[in-house]
Amino acid sequence: MTAGLPAPVLVALALVGLVGGIGITALGPGGVLPTIGLFTLTGLSPAEVAGTAIVTHVATGALATAAYTRSGQLREPVTRRTALVLAGTAMVGTPVGVVVNTAVSHRAFSVVLGLLVTAVAVLVRYRERRRPAQTPTGHPPPAVVAGVGLAVSAAGGLVGIGGPMLSVPLLIALGVPVLQALACAQAQSIVIAGVGTLGYLAHGSVDWALAAVVGVPELAGVLVGWKIAQALPTHTLKYALVVTLLALGPYLALHG
């Protein structure tokens, strides 16, 4: 596929991968950018877009998980529990998303996803404004986390996102601290990407050359984003998250 694309398009895809990687570990929603780039800049079918994008998240999820383990977030028992529940439910939700991809139009799902992303942004912002600064935050019960994991992994399998795009804002809205939400979502993304890759490989819907064009810069971006997340104040990360989601929501709904 790369041989048929002009150099500017390949450069654009690489830049999309880099920015997407930064967003994955700094904000969470960055994982959707490779999907958007592949959909708008190439002639791939929806299944090939999802399959090629989700392949890149196998490596980014593993690297990001290692990074957040090193910085301590995934060493906390409650954070590990949430991460394990998210990863476990992804084993069930992701195959459902892959199967649905063959029956639902990409356009229809883009509208739903765009509305969902916008709603999540509003929810995170509302909770931040309403919650007193002294109120402690914490992890929701495992049953609630399982519900989030199933929904997010099904969406991830459907459109080729690793999971942090939706898991991070939803976990934050449920009271999980920003860095812990980012860490949990990275662990979940390994399972979503791994299971999703196997599903799309079975359908022959992975373009390995384009996956490399997007995925290698994406890995570099993951490390940059992790550094940014460690350096910026929590309220700054939340503000950036809300702004990013509000920008992505209409784009997904109108350009799917």
What is the full DSSP assignment across 119-174? HHHHHHHHHHHHS-TTSPP-PPPHHHHHHHHHHHHHHHHHHT--SHHHHHHHHHHT
pLDDT tens, position by position, 84-117:
999 999 999 999 998 888 777 767 777 877 887 7
Q: Global pTM?
A: 0.82
Query: Nearest-CA neighbor of 218 among 25, 6, 8, 4?
Result: 25
CB 218 within 8 A of CB 18: yes
Beta strands in the chain (DSSP E): none
Band (pLDDT 50/70/90 cuts) for residue 3 is low
Q: What is the pLDDT of residues 168-210, one digit of tens each?
A: 888 988 889 888 998 999 999 999 999 999 999 998 989 999 9
